[in-house]
């Protein structure tokens, strides 16, 4: 069980707030696959205050997704506080999260995201004002540091706690690493030992066994899964089940993968219309197909498609071809591939 402020989750598995991924279409699937808490992709404080239509649409929360955390980024105190107030009063999110981990230059150049990692005093000030402005719990997602010479994870987490933050999520990489190398779970452990608020660990969790190892190694209260869930919401379900029962569930078959991929697409179509949804789904379809036989050729064809019907037809043909191949192997019409 994971509890953040007054918000209780059914389990301690959390979906990371991935940009370009965690819209309501995917978040709802994650929730249906048992995820305890889902996090929306980050939105700009200034875009909220300017009334940007696309940004305001990103603040939509389906009741079936709850509990849910909405994430804001910004570097200016006044605009961040006003954006926090807006989200607090005008959305049905359960938690407001402040991003201080995004490594991309267009964010850090605005003194936002990972730029905060260099200044524990600023973290304390900004989080204090955000907490005072909101009735909902305020949390922070951060990286362990800016680079190997500037790792202030413990100091930064303590600043969040002193400021009244309800929890902190820690990605075990520096800003300089981006998504390369390995996540440093030892520093996540140091953070957990340094604060009394809930700590959620993030980084290099690609299997249920990874989640179990992170919990055992760091003592964190929750495990955040990001890239491991791309095209693979079963990872969330299998992790919840494994942590609860110790039982390892099998991976889904290709037919089940393509069924959920089409459910994902249909929900995205309802949100954004067919043209935009099919284009956005191309990257997701590549993730759903990852590791399956003869997937490269299918991916290439899907990248050119613009209509739902064409995608559905091609995926149906693909699943049927795999079933035919399996049947041929079982009847020994062709030799099985030895791995």
Yes or no: say if 236 and 15 are a contact pair by the CB < 8 Å rule.
Answer: yes
| 102 classed as catalytic | yes
* Sign of the dihedral through C-alpha 149, 154, 155, 159: positive
Round to whole Å and give the CA distance between 70 and 23. Answer: 11
Report whether the peptide linkage leading into residue 67 is cis, meaning its omega lies within 30 degrees of zero.
yes
Round to whole Å and give the CA distance between 92 and 287. Answer: 30
Q: What is the number of other CB atoms lying within 10 angstroms of the CB of residue 137? A: 21
Round to whole Å and give the CA distance between 130 and 147. Answer: 26
Select which of 22, 35, 102, 110 is catalytic: 102
Q: What is the number of other CB atoms lying within 10 angstroms of the CB of residue 184? A: 22
Yes or no: say if 211 and 242 are a contact pair by the CB < 8 Å rule.
Answer: yes
The DSSP bridge partners found for residue 201 are 170, 223
Beta pairing, strands 7-8 & 3-4: antiparallel
The tokens for 50 are 């300017």
Q: H/E element holding 301?
A: helix 295-302
Tell me the helices (H) and strands (E) count for the chain, helix number first.
14, 11
**Coil, strand or helix: which one is 181?**
coil
Round to whole Å and give the CA distance between 71 and 80. Answer: 11
Yes or no: say if 168 and 131 are a contact pair by the CB < 8 Å rule.
Answer: no
Beta pairing, strands 13-15 & 222-225: parallel
Burial of 331 (0-12, 13-18, 19+ CB in 10 A): exposed
- Any idea which residues carry the catalytic annotation? 102
């Amino acid at each position: 069980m994971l509890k953040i402020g007054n918000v209780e989750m059914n389990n301690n598995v959390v979906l990371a707030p991935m940009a370009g991924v965690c819209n309501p279409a995917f978040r709802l699937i994650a929730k249906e696959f048992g995820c305890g808490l889902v996090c929306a992709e980050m939105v700009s404080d200034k875009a909220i205050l300017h009334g940007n239509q696309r940004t305001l649409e990103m603040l939509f929360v389906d009741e079936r997704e709850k509990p849910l955390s909405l994430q804001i980024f910004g570097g200016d105190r006044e605009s961040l506080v006003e954006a926090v107030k807006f989200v607090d009063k005008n959305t049905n999110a359960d938690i407001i999260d402040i991003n201080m981990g995004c490594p991309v230059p267009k964010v850090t150049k605005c003194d936002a995201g990972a730029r905060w990692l260099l200044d524990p005093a600023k973290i304390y000030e900004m989080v204090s004002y955000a907490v005072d402005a909101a009735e909902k719990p305020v949390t922070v997602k951060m990286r362990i540091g800016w680079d190997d010479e500037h790792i202030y994870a413990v100091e930064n987490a303590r600043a969040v706690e002193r400021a009244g933050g309800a929890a902190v999520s820690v990605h075990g990489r520096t800003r300089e690493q981006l998504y390369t190398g390995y996540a440093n779970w030892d520093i996540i452990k140091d953070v957990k030992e340094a604060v009394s608020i809930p700590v959620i660990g993030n980084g290099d969790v690609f299997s249920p066994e990874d989640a179990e190892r992170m919990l055992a190694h760091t003592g964190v209260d929750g495990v955040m899964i990001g890239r491991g869930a791309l095209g693979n919401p079963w990872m969330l379900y299998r992790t919840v089940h494994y942590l609860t029962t110790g039982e390892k569930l099998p991976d889904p078959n290709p037919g089940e993968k393509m069924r959920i991929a089409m459910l994902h697409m249909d929900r995205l179509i309802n949100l954004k219309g067919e043209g935009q949804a099919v284009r956005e789904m191309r990257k997701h379809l590549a993730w759903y197909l990852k590791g399956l036989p003869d997937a490269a050729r299918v991916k290439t064809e899907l990248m050119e498609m613009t209509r739902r019907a064409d995608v559905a037809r091609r995926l149906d043909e693909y699943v049927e071809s795999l079933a035919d191949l399996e049947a041929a192997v079982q009847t020994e019409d062709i030799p099985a591939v030895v791995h």
